[in-house]
Amino acid sequence: MRIYLDNAATTPIDTEVFNAMTPYLLNYFGNPSSLHQQGREARKAIEDCRASIAELLNASPEEIIFISGGTEADNTAIFSAVYGEGIKHVITTRFEHHAVLHTLESLQAKGVITVSFIKHDDKGLLDIAHLIELLQESPRSLVSVMHANNEIGNLNDIEIIGELCERYNALFHTDTVQTIGHYRHDLQKLKIHFLAASAHKFHGPKGVGFLFCRKGVKLSQLIHGGGQEGRLRAGTENIHGIVGLTKALQIAYRHLNKHQQYIQSLKSYMIERLISEVPGVIFNGNSANNNGSLYTVLNVGLPSVGYSRGLLECFDEHGISVSGGSACSSGAASHVLQAILTDVTKDNIRFSFSKLNTRAEIDKVIDALINIYQTIAA
């Protein structure tokens, strides 16, 4: 059996989620926009899902827009801030996902916006005093800061950033793709205008997610066509995906504390074993700090194996799936690691955990690593 430690890239679908979805592929196949009974059944399923997600996040149903995933949610949020709300300046970080950075780059290249980056230290911790300076210089900005980074796991304080945005009349977009379903978000308390989520990061299906957009904020439609999703996102709804997304979030919330503690214990155990058994190991960013990082992600700089294939391939040969960083940019140098202090002589590996991993698997990974080094030394 292969060991899967690439859960920040995607998670396996939960059987309960799959079972909830199948009736909407086989039986309730109506188009939610149709006026007949089968259409009405499909419409009801979608609206029930919207209400359920809104309840879990303490939001209103009309603030939840179903969309194809994190990338589209991030794009729609940024386009809405720029074309709906007339934002001309965006404050962001060097650590955002390319769904944010490339969108901002393309708008900047067209001369539509200017972009400022919040300073950070060599662990990737953001300089909040610098954010305040930037907000003082241009108050009516969009601030786009992710809740947690998908490569090094750094958690940003979205509560404080939201408060600052409110104080300076800025809009706040946060990419919560790595944290929805893993942490609780109370959208009555958090001062967030846009939030992006993707089902496949919490044991739901791929190709579906949602954008939270606070009531009163003007949205700009990215995809034009029919009048679905309150004329904000055209195209026949991915009904089985929406049902799967909702079921996955319900399951995640049902067991959130238990899973948080369990997954954190796996990560802590791996840190302990690495420190005691792998000389020269380093932890990139804030990822070994339990309070300041995602409990699902550990980014490790390991002594290089010294030949061209690298550790990632060696792990793969040992039946272990891990990654060097973001799955979307595989092969390319990581913009996240390039932005912080890393030891260039090391092989950087992201281990990312889920509720399905076990302590025995962590043992096997460490044993495999030691075996890889021993084989090379021999």
Instruction: Return the range that interacts with ligand PLP (CB under 6 A); candidates 174-182, 226-234, 235-243, 337-345.
Output: 174-182
Query: Counting contacts by CB under 6 A, is residue 84 touching ligand PLP?
Result: no
Q: Closest separation between CB of residue 151 and ligand PLP, Å?
A: 8
Query: Counting contacts by CB under 6 A, is residue 178 touching ligand PLP?
Result: yes
Q: How far apart are CA 228 and CA 226, in angstroms?
A: 6
Query: Counting contacts by CB under 6 A, is residue 43 touching ligand PLP?
Result: no
Instruction: Using alpha carbons, select from 221, 222, 223, 169 the residue that is nearest to residue 191.
Output: 169
Q: Which residues contact 48 (CB under 8 A, 6 or more apart)?
A: 246
Q: Is 328 a catalytic residue?
A: yes
Query: Counting contacts by CB under 6 A, is residue 175 touching ligand PLP?
Result: yes
Query: Counting contacts by CB under 6 A, is residue 205 touching ligand PLP?
Result: no
Helix (H) or strand (E) holding 302: strand 297-303
User: Which of 97, 193, 203, 259 is in the footprint of ligand PLP by CB under 6 A?
Assistant: 97
User: Of the two residues 71 and 116, which places its CB atom closer to ligand PLP in the complex?
Assistant: 71
Q: Closest separation between CB of residue 178 and ligand PLP, Å?
A: 5
Alpha helices by DSSP H, listed for the chain, are: 15-21, 23-26, 37-57, 70-79, 98-109, 128-137, 158-167, 228-231, 239-254, 256-277, 310-317, 335-339, 359-377
Q: Choose the catalytic residue: 49, 213, 314, 328.
A: 328
Q: Closest separation between CB of residue 196 and ligand PLP, Å?
A: 7
End-to-end CA distance of the chain: 27
User: Of the two residues 97 and 355, which places its CB atom closer to ligand PLP in the complex?
Assistant: 97
Torsion of CA 178, 9, 248, 223, to 10 degrees: 80
Q: Closest separation between CB of residue 312 and ligand PLP, Å?
A: 17
Query: Counting contacts by CB under 6 A, is residue 99 touching ligand PLP?
Result: yes
Q: Which residues contact 102 (CB under 8 A, 6 or more apart)?
A: none
User: Which of 7, 11, 71, 334 is in the footprint of ligand PLP by CB under 6 A?
Assistant: 71
Q: Which residues contact 230 (CB under 8 A, 6 or more apart)?
A: 62, 65
User: Which of 76, 93, 150, 354 is in the footprint of ligand PLP by CB under 6 A?
Assistant: 150
Q: How far, rounded to the nearest angstrom, does the alpha carbon of residue 129 sit from its chain's CA centroid?
A: 25
User: Of the two residues 141 and 326, which places its CB atom closer to ligand PLP in the complex?
Assistant: 326
Query: Counting contacts by CB under 6 A, is residue 198 touching ligand PLP?
Result: yes
Active site residues: 328
